[in-house]
């Protein structure tokens, strides 16, 4: 069965499941969910723990041997499979299925790995896995929800922050929840943990104490541009450049998105509503707002123009043009996030 992270505590208390599969790319939330499962089972007698790091060279016979060792005096045990990729090979699928066919009530299987794609979730094999256990899909905290998430975490640590402090924190730790928790710990130490009174956090303190630990990826960059967030997308581009991301990786992500918009824009020209277009286009639910925003602002002619610009940027990156590819990527993102702004920039 599929459950949300916030349903995990209730599921643990109400069901004795033999398997939990944590799927996601947010390290802090994955760690917290795994800790919740471990702690619950440890309190209920699962005193042993065995960890397998699964990569392309992993020998699944070691897992089968561990789960197949039966003893009258065996302790209850948590067996963790930490996947380096979202997909299991055939040997892994068979090993898991064989174990589930002969369940041992003294074992809990805890699987954690990257986000599973839609195709994997629809396979017959994975449907069989879900019959026995729980899939917990853990999504990153979106920028829209990050402020509320930070405020809740601060209050949990007896820190009261005003609206401006929260806004600054969002800008400084977006995309890096581990850094956010480290900064909260730093603020607690600064105020003194022995204080009984709530810590009052203002914008000045945030500016002085909290480092800029925001971390982005190319997909967040594309979504920010689709949402029309011009300043934020430019900040992301600068951050990715400073991290040494090869510009062709960014260009490829933008081009892929532009091409996916074209058939949807054609439906828009035919009179279909944006909500219906996004639904029929099988857009992931956490991206629907970004894609809808772009469809409401951009037409097919603009997209074709951006694809032409992309070809010129590709030549820049490959040394066939003297133009600066990062400057050109900046202009391309200006076009995607706000065509009017981009045209003004170009004519300036």
pLDDT, one tens digit per residue, over 55-102 is 888 999 999 888 876 655 567 899 999 999 888 889 999 999 888 888
| Cα three-residue angle 260-263-265, rounded to 5 degrees | 100
pLDDT on residue 184: 84
Q: Tell me the CA end-to-end span of the chain in Å, nearest whole number.
A: 56
Fold of the CATH domain 143-209: Helicase, Ruva Protein; domain 3 (1.10.8)
Which residues, other chains included, contact 141 with Cβ-Cβ below 8 Å and sequence gap of 6+? 26, 29, 149, 177
**pLDDT for 342 beyond 50:** no
pLDDT on residue 345: 42
Contact 79, 48 (CB under 8 A): no
143-209 and 218-347 have identical folds: no
pLDDT on residue 201: 81
CATH assignment, 218-347: 1.20.272.10
**199-215 pLDDT, tens digit each:** 788 888 888 777 776 77
- Sheet strands (E) in the chain: 2-3, 19-24, 48-54, 77-83, 107-113, 134-138, 159-161, 199-201
Strand partners, 110: 20, 80
pLDDT on residue 333: 95
pLDDT on residue 343: 42
- Is pLDDT larger for residue 309 or for residue 74? 309
pLDDT on residue 265: 95
Model pTM?
0.65
Nearest in space to 67 (alpha carbons), one of 35, 113, 99, 32 = 99
pLDDT on residue 255: 93
User: Mean pLDDT throughout 317-337?
Assistant: 93
Contact 214, 171 (CB under 8 A): yes
Give helix then strand counts, H and E, for the chain.
18, 8
CATH of 2-138, one of 3.40.50.720, 2.102.10.10, 3.20.19.10, 3.40.50.300: 3.40.50.300
Cβ burial of 167 (10 Å; 0-12, 13-18, 19+) is middle
Q: Print burial letters for 170-201: b (CB count within 10 Å at least 16), e (below 16).
A: bbbbbbbbebbbebbeebbeebeeeeeeebeb
Phi, psi of 70 (to 5 degrees): -100, 140
What ranges do the domains of the chain cover?
Answer: 2-138, 143-209, 218-347
pLDDT on residue 124: 86
Q: How confident is the model at residue 193 (pLDDT cuts 50, 70, 90)?
A: low
Phi, psi of 140 (to 5 degrees): -60, 150
Which residues, other chains included, contact 123 with Cβ-Cβ below 8 Å and sequence gap of 6+? none
For residues 202 and 208, give the distance between their C-alpha atoms in angstroms, rounded to a whole number: 10
Helices (H), 57-142: 60-68, 90-101, 118-121, 124-132
User: Mean pLDDT throughout 268-288?
Assistant: 86
Q: Which residue has the tokens 């996004």?
A: 278
- Sheet strands (E) in 93-213: 107-113, 134-138, 159-161, 199-201
Phi, psi of 323 (to 5 degrees): -65, 155
pLDDT on residue 346: 43
Nearest in space to 135 (alpha carbons), one of 285, 8, 42, 282 = 8
**124-162 pLDDT, tens digit each:** 888 888 888 999 999 888 888 899 999 999 888 888 888
Centre a 10 Å sphere on the Cβ of residue 7 and count the other Cβ atoms it contains.
14
Mean pLDDT of the chain: 86
For residues 18 and 134, give the distance between their C-alpha atoms in angstroms, rounded to a whole number: 9
């Amino acid at each position: 069965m599929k459950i949300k992270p916030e349903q995990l505590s209730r599921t643990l208390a109400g069901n004795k499941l033999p398997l939990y599969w944590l799927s996601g790319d947010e390290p802090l939330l994955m760690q917290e969910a795994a800790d919740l499962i471990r702690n619950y089972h440890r309190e209920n007698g699962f005193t042993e723990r065995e960890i397998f790091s699964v990569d392309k060279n992993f020998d699944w016979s070691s897992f089968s041997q561990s789960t197949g060792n039966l003893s009258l005096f065996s302790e209850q045990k948590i067996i963790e499979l930490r996947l380096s990729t979202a997909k299991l090979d055939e040997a892994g699928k068979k090993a898991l299925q064989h174990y589930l066919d002969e369940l041992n009530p003294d074992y809990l299987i805890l699987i954690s790995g990257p986000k599973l794609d839609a195709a994997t979730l629809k396979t017959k094999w994975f449907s069989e896995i879900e019959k026995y256990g729980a899939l917990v899909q853990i999504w990153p905290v979106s920028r829209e929800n990050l402020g509320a998430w930070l405020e809740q975490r601060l209050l949990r640590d007896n820190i009261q922050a005003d609206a401006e402090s929260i806004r600054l924190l969002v800008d400084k730790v977006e995309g890096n929840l581990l850094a956010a928790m480290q900064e909260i710990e730093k603020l607690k130490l600064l105020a003194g943990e022995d204080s009984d009174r709530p810590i009052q956090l203002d914008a000045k303190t945030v500016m002085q104490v909290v480092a800029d630990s925001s971390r982005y990826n190319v997909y967040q960059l594309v979504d920010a541009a689709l949402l029309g967030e011009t300043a934020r997308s430019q900040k992301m581009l600068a951050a990715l450049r400073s991290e040494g991301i090869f510009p062709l990786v960014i260009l490829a992500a933008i081009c892929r998105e532009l091409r996916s918009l074209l058939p949807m824009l054609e439906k828009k020209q035919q009179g279909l509503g944006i909500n219906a277009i996004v639904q029929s286009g099988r857009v992931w639910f956490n991206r629907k707002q970004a894609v809808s925003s772009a469809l409401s602002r951009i037409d097919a002619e603009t997209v074709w123009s951006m694809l032409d610009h992309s070809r010129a940027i590709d030549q820049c990156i490959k040394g066939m043009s003297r133009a600066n590819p990062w400057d050109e990527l900046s202009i391309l993102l200006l076009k995607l996030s706000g065509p009017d702004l981009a045209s003004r920039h170009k004519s300036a």
